[in-house]
Amino acid sequence: MRKKGLIALAMVASVSMGCATTGDVQIARDEAREASRKADEALEAAREARRVAQDAETRAARSEEMLNRSFKRSMYK
């Protein structure tokens, strides 16, 4: 009987110490939502940076082509 009592006491202690309250769960959910929002913002910023970099790459390629044509024309003169 004493063994059952100790097991029951251990179970009650572990449940009371190990369980999260509703408030704790809500706090964790709020933190997860905030982290998700920040991740979405970071992803959008990265996408915008990629668009800007691709635009710069396109402009650089056009400029290089124009310089090459100008150089070729000057060589023929």
Q: Is 51 helix (H, G, I), strand (E, B) or coil?
A: helix
Q: Which of the pair, 56 or 21, is modelled with greater confidence?
A: 56
The DSSP 8-state label assigned to residue 1 in this structure reads -
* pTM, 2 dp: 0.56
Q: Which of the pair, 75 or 9, is modelled with greater confidence?
A: 75
- Rounded Cα–Cα distance for residues 13 and 19 (Å): 10
Q: Which residue segment(s) compose the domain that 59 sits in?
A: 2-76
Decide if 34 contacts 26 (C-beta within 8 A): no
The DSSP 8-state label assigned to residue 26 in this structure reads H
Decide if 28 contacts 20 (C-beta within 8 A): yes
Q: Report pLDDT for 71.
A: 87
* Model pLDDT for residues 12-21, shown as the tens digit of each residue: 665 555 566 8
Please determine, for residue 11, whether its predicted confidence score (pLDDT) is greater than 80: no
Q: What is the mean pLDDT of the chain?
A: 84
Mean pLDDT of 53-70: 95
